[in-house]
């Protein structure tokens, strides 16, 4: 199989070095450069082009409250299936150790932390009495020291005990 002809067929517009470009690139592009640095040097040497590029690079600040898409620091985590979404809010500075890396925290954990007056540990679980994760009223929340006590409470709440569990071990006979 023959290799394509790679002999230089044009020269760089800035440094005049001989370079190869595919024929369709030669037809499509006005200017040819051997590298991005030569292209930038050529743009800065041309006063009209450099003023055009400098004018277009001065964009307004577009993050946080200055962004037109800002929704007040609230985002919804979409769960799979028929589960309801969990609401994340921007975390206040005094509870930042409870937040994710991006500075957001689940709203029900923030409500409980404010109510208790301290930051929650990672192992502490906040339970919704009505099982609706969007209802973050403090009268609807319970705090458990760990997930095992939370699951025991849910078992008592559902009226099941060890003899009445509907787990996979009990179904397989």
* Structure confidence at residue 44 (pLDDT): 80
Structure tokens at 2: 């023959």
Choice between 114 and 8, residue whose per-residue pLDDT is larger:
114
Interatomic CA distance for residues 111 and 138, integer angstroms: 7
pLDDT tens digits, 22-48: 888 888 877 888 888 988 888 888 777
Mean pLDDT, to the nearest integer, of 50-57?
A: 61
Q: Is the pLDDT of residue 117 over 90?
A: yes
- What's this model's pTM, rounded to 2 decimal places? 0.55
Structure tokens at 27: 């037809």
Q: If you count DSSP H runs as helices and E runs as strands, how many of each does the chain have, helices first?
A: 6, 7
Structure tokens at 3: 């290799």
Mean pLDDT of the chain: 81
Mean pLDDT, to the nearest integer, of 126-153?
A: 91
How do beta strands 104-106 and 125-128 pair? unpaired
Give the CA radius of gyration of the chain: 31
Interatomic CA distance for residues 26 and 103, integer angstroms: 49
């Amino acid at each position: 199989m023959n290799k394509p002809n790679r002999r230089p067929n044009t020269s760089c517009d800035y440094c005049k070095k001989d370079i190869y470009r595919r024929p369709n690139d030669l037809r499509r592009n006005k200017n040819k450069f051997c590298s991005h640095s030569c292209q930038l040097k050529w743009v800065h040497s041309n006063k009209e082009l450099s003023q055009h590029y400098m004018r277009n690079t001065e964009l307004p600040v577009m993050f946080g409250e200055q962004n037109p898409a800002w929704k007040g620091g609230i985002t919804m985590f979409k769960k799979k299936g028929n589960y309801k979404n969990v609401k994340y809010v921007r975390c206040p500075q005094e509870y930042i150790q409870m937040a994710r890396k991006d500075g957001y925290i689940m709203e029900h954990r923030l409500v409980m932390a404010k109510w208790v007056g301290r930051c929650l540990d990672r192992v502490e679980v906040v339970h919704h009495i009505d099982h609706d994760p969007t209802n973050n009223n403090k009268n609807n929340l319970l705090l458990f020291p760990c997930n095992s006590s939370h699951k025991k409470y849910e078992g008592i709440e559902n009226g099941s005990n060890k003899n009445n569990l509907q787990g996979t071990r009990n179904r397989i006979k």
